[in-house]
Amino acid sequence: MSSTDKRKVTAEDIENLLEVFKQSGWDEMHLQTGDLEIFLSNDPTAQGPRAATAPAAAAAPLAAPAATGAAVAPVVISAAGPSGHAPIPAGHVAIKAPNLGTFYRAPKPGAAPYVEIGQQIETSTEVCLIEVMKLFTPVQGGVKGIVREIRARDGQMVEFDEVLIVVEPN
């Protein structure tokens, strides 16, 4: 519905429109004329007029009954997680987190770290601790070689499969 009529829309016009809508049995009415846009709906959860080309969204949060037509604020997506980390150098092997948890380089606070950069490790060498709710689990190297990088930071949460340590096998 649109009009090229330049006449100003009066409160009476809107009242009449509401009456027409009430009597109609229609679900929705969307009217645009000049600067004025009116959206009427019988659906208390209506989000306002649908854009004809809008892609189907997942469950749009329901607006409060009175607040139809409110725009949904855009959301910032931060690409956190292991996928964002630097690649592993050719010929090197990554020791990854077997589960999510807090990464510790040493068996207890103040103790010497399990491993240092440049150190030779065996497959059975314990290289760090992962803690979940006070349950500390040592992680073994699983590879024989020299520690080249320690990527996870002491005391920080690491996600499942995140690269902890990079080893050059020998």
Partner 1 sequence: MPIRRVLSINRGEIAARVVQAAHALGIEAVQAVSQADRDSRAAQLADRVVVIGPPPSRQSYLDAQLLVHTALQTGCDALHPGYGFLSEREHLARLCAEHGITFIGPAAETIAALGDKLQAKAIAEAAGVPLVPGTAQLAQAEDAVAAAVSLGYPVLIKASAGGGGRGMFIARSREDVLGGFDKASNEAREAFGDGTMYMERYVENARHVEVQVFGDGTGKVIHFGERDCSIQRRYQKVFEEAPCAAMPDALRAQLHRSAVDLVSSLKYRNAGTVEFLYDVDRQAIYFIEVNARIQVEHPVSEQVTGHDLVRLQFEIAAGEPLRWTQDQIPVKRHAIEVRLNAEDPYRQFQPSPGRITRWVPPQGAGIRLDSHCYEGYLVPPYYDSMVGKLIVTAHDRESCVIRLQEALARFEVEGLITNLPLLRFIASHPDFVANQLNTRWLEQVLLPAFEATRE
Positions in the binding site for partner 1 (CB under 8 A): 25, 27-28, 41-45, 50, 56-65, 72-73, 75-78, 80-83, 99-102, 131-133, 135, 157, 159-162
Tokens describing residue 69: 């037509």
In whole angstroms, give the CA distance from residue 98 to residue 159.
9
In whole angstroms, give the CA distance from residue 85 to residue 32.
50
Task: Name the minimum Å distance from CB 44 to partner 1.
Answer: 3
**C-beta of 92 vs 96, nearer to partner 1:** 96
In whole angstroms, give the CA distance from residue 128 to residue 157.
13
Task: Name the minimum Å distance from CB 159 to partner 1.
Answer: 4
Task: Name the minimum Å distance from CB 52 to partner 1.
Answer: 9
- The CA–CA distances, whole Å, from 142 to 97, 121, 152 equal 12, 9, 17
**C-beta of 49 vs 145, nearer to partner 1:** 49
